[in-house]
Chain A
Amino acid sequence: MQTASMRTAYGEALVEAGRENKNIVVLEADLSKATKTSLFAKAFPERFFNIGIAEQNMMSMAAGFATCGKVPFATALAVFASMRALEQVRTSVCIGNLNVKIGAPYGGLATAENGPTHQCISDINMMRGLPNMTVLAPSDAVSCKACVHWAVKHKGPVYIRILRDGEPVLYEKKEDVNIENGNRLHEGNDMAIICNGFTSHMALQAAEELTKEGMHVTVHDIFCIKPIAADVILDIAQKCKRIITVEEHNIYGGLGSAVAEVISQSRPVPLKIMGVNDYFSDSGSHKDLLERAGLTVENIIRQVKDFVE
């Protein structure tokens, strides 16, 4: 599979959007080389603000920018954007329903070797809990760009969880990406896998393997975790009767929870939630950490087979 860097896609998308829309401003907290807002800084230095290692200040400043009609992209590592500045996101941004976009690279376990202080497995949960917040989690570089452009058009706060480098490319062009409803990566009636982020390519691979064994699995890539496309989820539930969710996040409060909230209230079907089983992980390679969490193609296949009626 061809791969591309999602954080680079984020930086490039900011430049594209900044060229089209003069109201776009970017805030950064001393990590522009890592988050790739450095690309925007180079293209539009007058619309780039490095606030230093002060994420809370950055977030509330972004709220101030938004009150003046700007479209600020406040950027920090996912773990600090979602948690260090959480109260500012809630109070300064969400209560006022201000047009602040939060770009959050290095989501999930992608900060691997840096250890648990930098790994980010609770952000979707935090952000989903905030009224007015839209929560996006693209799965590759192309959908990452699509999310940035979608966020510019959307009025109101948006959190975009981005990964890092070397993510397999799933989409050809950003017009192919359906942000609101998600994209069908594989069709089948025997079971459904609903996934997002880095796990989507794994789910697709698992489905392809299972097809060879005569099992036909639907794989649906969700970008918008909140508001989640309830109709799409319910259709999948009706068609496939059993759902497995897969995500690089705590099993509590993420995609699995969002899907459970939909089906349990309208069309209950058995559901299995795959993710990080509520623990802080260690330093290690991304691959090691994914393996420990059971987020591998092999384990998805195993879980599907175990879950057959």
Chain B
Amino acid sequence: MEKDIQFLKDTAKELRKNILKMVCAACSGHPGGALSAAEIITALYYGEMHVDPKNPQDPDRDRFILSKGHTCPVLYSVLAMKGYFPLEELQTLRKINGRLQGHPDMNKTPGVDSTAGSLGNGLSIGIGMALMAKLDKKSYRTYVLLGCGELNEGLIWEAAMAAAKFKIDNLLAIVDYNRLQLDGTNDEVMPLEPLADKWKAFNWNVITIDGHDFNQILGAFRKAGETVNQPTVIIANTVKGKGVSFMENKVDWHGKAPNKEQLETALREIENDI
């Protein structure tokens, strides 16, 4: 696996550019929460998961569920970069007769392991996959990316209890903790703190990291992999809109596409690490 940090950083840059280009081409979509997850997704697909773009349905593949499905541009971009489908196809996002739906559709897009879009469902689906790996004596792991606003849903906490009951140690939940949701900050809409304590109280192994630091992300993946008989959640502190100055920490960029000029500025900033 390509664990070279510089390589991962360069890949995340490419990923961010693709996200912005595709959302701009679609004239709608959700850039903020896609950008905040760029390092996490890069680390998963280039440094952690065992997947084969040539065989997307391999029964032994690691599974990934983008439970915060609205941020699918980050998933489509990485899948295209990995070779699941041509990069040019990213330009068809949200267009009629395309394979890249506005929210992930497992029957349309190669590499998408679970349909999502209605928030709160992904952790339960992941637990189902992880439990069946145990039943079938398979070694694949399941990864679930959750939004912080998504944690408002009660279903998440039902799943959290179930994962602990069944000692699901072959599933890793990651919270993209960018502290913004749709109407405002978590604190304005529905306060989450103390978040780590909540997961601990649900009997989870909790690892808190900077979600834009590859060393910390990979280190957390390693620790999670070594944990037995207990589910692990990584609370990744991130910045919504990360990498584009005018999008960072701005709730307005939750679900709005950049226009052509904004795209140019954003691409330049990402290229130059501003």
Q: Which residue of B lies closest to A57 (CB)?
A: B154
CB pair B103 A117 closer than 8 Å: yes
Write the B74-109 contact mask toward A (1 if CB under 8 angstroms, else 0): 000000000000000000011111101111010010
Residues in chain B near residue A289, CB distance under 8 A: 96
CB pair B103 A53 closer than 8 Å: no
Residues in chain A near residue B154, CB distance under 8 A: 54, 56-57
CB pair B183 A30 closer than 8 Å: yes
Q: CB < 8 Å: which of A53, A114, A285 contacts B152?
A: A53
CB pair B183 A115 closer than 8 Å: no
Q: How far is the CB of B252 from chain A (nearest CB, A)?
A: 9
* B178 within 8 Å of A (CB atoms): no
What DSSP secondary structure best describes chain B's contact surface? Answer: loop
Q: CB < 8 Å: which of B115, B118, B149 contacts A84?
A: B118
Residues in chain B near residue A57, CB distance under 8 A: 154
Q: Which residue of A lies closest to B251 (CB)?
A: A33
Q: CB < 8 Å: which of B94, B102, B118, B152 contacts A52?
A: B152
Residues in chain A near residue B118, CB distance under 8 A: 79-80, 84, 117
Q: Which residue of A lies closest to B190 (CB)?
A: A52
Q: How far, in whole Å, are A28 and B181 apart by their CA atoms in the complex?
A: 14
Residues in chain B near residue A283, CB distance under 8 A: 93-96, 98, 100-102
Please judge, given known A-B contacts A50-B183, A51-B190, A53-B149, whether A113 and B117 are in contact too, CB under 8 Å: no
Write the B100-138 contact mask toward A (1 if CB under 8 angstroms, else 0): 111101001000000111111000000000000000000
* B189 within 8 Å of A (CB atoms): yes
Q: Which residue of B lies closest to A79 (CB)?
A: B118
Residues in chain A near residue B102, CB distance under 8 A: 113-115, 118, 283
Q: How far, in whole Å, are A282 and B28 apart by their CA atoms in the complex?
A: 15
CB pair A115 B190 closer than 8 Å: no
* B26 within 8 Å of A (CB atoms): yes
* A61 within 8 Å of B (CB atoms): no
CB pair B115 A117 closer than 8 Å: yes
* B153 within 8 Å of A (CB atoms): yes
Q: How far is the CB of A290 from chain B (nearest CB, A)?
A: 11
Number of A-B contacts (CB under 8 A): 91
CB pair B117 A282 closer than 8 Å: no
Residues in chain B near residue A115, CB distance under 8 A: 94, 101-103, 105, 117
* A116 within 8 Å of B (CB atoms): yes
Q: Which residue of B lies closest to A54 (CB)?
A: B152
Q: CB < 8 Å: which of A30, A79, A118 contacts B181?
A: A30
* B52 within 8 Å of A (CB atoms): no
Q: How far, in whole Å, are A117 and B100 apart by their CA atoms in the complex?
A: 13
Q: How far, in whole Å, are A32 and B149 apart by their CA atoms in the complex?
A: 14
Please judge, given known A-B contacts A113-B102, A283-B102, A284-B96, whether A53 and B120 are in contact too, CB under 8 Å: yes
CB pair A52 B69 closer than 8 Å: no
* A39 within 8 Å of B (CB atoms): no
Q: How far, in whole Å, are A37 and B186 apart by their CA atoms in the complex?
A: 18
* B182 within 8 Å of A (CB atoms): yes
Residues in chain B near residue A114, CB distance under 8 A: 94, 102-103, 117
CB pair A33 B117 closer than 8 Å: no
Residues in chain A near residue B69, CB distance under 8 A: 117
Q: How far is the CB of A287 from chain B (nearest CB, A)?
A: 9
CB pair B96 A53 closer than 8 Å: no
Write the A279-303 contact mask toward B (1 if CB under 8 angstroms, else 0): 0001111001100100000000000
Q: How far, in whole Å, are A177 and B108 apart by their CA atoms in the complex?
A: 43
* B14 within 8 Å of A (CB atoms): no
* A31 within 8 Å of B (CB atoms): yes
Q: CB < 8 Å: which of B26, B101, B117, B189 contacts A30?
A: B189
Please judge, given known A-B contacts A117-B115, A284-B95, whether A54 and B190 are in contact too, CB under 8 Å: yes
Write the A80-99 contact mask toward B (1 if CB under 8 angstroms, else 0): 10001000000000000000
Q: How far, in whole Å, are A114 and B152 apart by their CA atoms in the complex?
A: 21
Q: How far, in whole Å, are A250 and B111 apart by their CA atoms in the complex?
A: 30
On B, residues with C-beta under 8 Å from A are 26, 28-29, 69, 93-98, 100-103, 105, 108, 115-120, 149-150, 152-154, 181-183, 188-190
Apart from A33-B183, A113-B26, 10 more pairs, CB < 8 Å: A28-B183, A30-B182, A50-B190, A53-B150, A53-B153, A54-B153, A54-B190, A113-B102, A114-B94, A282-B101
Instruction: List, sorted by A's number, 17 A–B pairs whose CB atoms are closer than 8 Å.
Output: A30-B181, A30-B183, A31-B182, A38-B183, A50-B183, A51-B190, A52-B152, A52-B189, A54-B152, A54-B190, A113-B94, A115-B117, A117-B115, A118-B102, A282-B98, A283-B101, A284-B96
